[in-house]
């Protein structure tokens, strides 16, 4: 069985004066949320033998905060294809994961990550999938499991086993709080 964990970058600063979207940094709430999610990942004893990330500044900064809470280095390969990628492009990236990897982490952006979950997990009476469909907030993690190889992953073949939003860990990190 393979496990794919999807991490959306933490909340970034829209009011930051940067010339390109690619260079947008995290804001204070995003840094807090990412560190908390990292601590939660440590308590869940999540481990990854392969990781790929968007090279955008907000993803790099999310990883730094995740790692500080997680207590270990993730050191993903940076892949420009992940930056603002569609679900189809993200699936192509996943199809290229090494066969020997059993637990992989993909760190990127919405709407691609949300669309990927909704594509891979069949629609049905699944409260976790419903929560993703409602909203895949910044710094949230979704964990999917499926049988077969990475190249076998296709529409409706995965089970969503975990969906954790920062507000699930600390209500002050929810949408109504600064």
CATH number of the domain encompassing residue 107? 3.40.50.1240
- Rounded to the nearest angstrom, the gap between the alpha carbon of residue 37 and the centroid of all alpha carbons in its chain is 11
Question: Range of 18's domain?
Answer: 2-173
State the Cα–Cα distance between residues 178 and 163, nearest whole angstrom: 22
pLDDT score for 176 = 56
How are beta strands 2-8 and 141-146 bridged, if at all?
Answer: antiparallel
In a domain? residue 178: no
What are the mean pLDDT values of the chain's consecutive 10-residue runs (178 residues total)? 98 80 94 97 96 98 97 96 98 98 98 98 91 96 97 96 96 70
Nearest 5°: CA angle at 87, between 106 and 162?
50
**Scanning the structure block, which residue is given the tokens 């999610």?**
37
State the Cα–Cα distance between residues 143 and 126, nearest whole angstrom: 14
In a domain? residue 75: yes
pLDDT score for 152 = 94
pLDDT score for 45 = 95
pLDDT score for 177 = 46
Q: Are 64 and 37 in contact (CB under 8 A)?
A: no
Whole-prediction pTM: 0.95
State the Cα–Cα distance between residues 108 and 54, nearest whole angstrom: 5
Number of domains within the chain: 1
């Amino acid at each position: 069985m393979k496990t794919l964990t999807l991490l959306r970058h933490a909340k970034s600063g829209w009011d930051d004066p940067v010339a390109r979207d690619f260079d947008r940094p995290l804001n204070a709430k995003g840094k807090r949320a990412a560190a908390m999610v990292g601590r939660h990942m440590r308590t869940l004893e999540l481990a990854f033998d392969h990781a790929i990330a968007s090279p955008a500044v907000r993803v790099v900064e999310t990883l730094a905060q995740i790692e500080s809470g997680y207590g270990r280095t993730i050191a993903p390969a940076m892949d420009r294809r992940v930056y603002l990628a569609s679900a189809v492009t993200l699936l192509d990236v996943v199809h290229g994961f090494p066969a020997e990897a059993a637990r992989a982490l993909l760190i990127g952006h919405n709407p691609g990550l949300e669309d990927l979950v909704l594509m891979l997990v069949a629609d049905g009476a699944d409260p976790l999938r419903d929560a993703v469909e409602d909203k895949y907030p910044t710094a949230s993690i979704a964990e999917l499991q499926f049988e077969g190889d990475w190249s076998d992953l296709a529409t409706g073949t995965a089970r969503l086993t975990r969906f954790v939003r920062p507000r699930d860990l600390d209500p002050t990190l929810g949408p109504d709080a600064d």
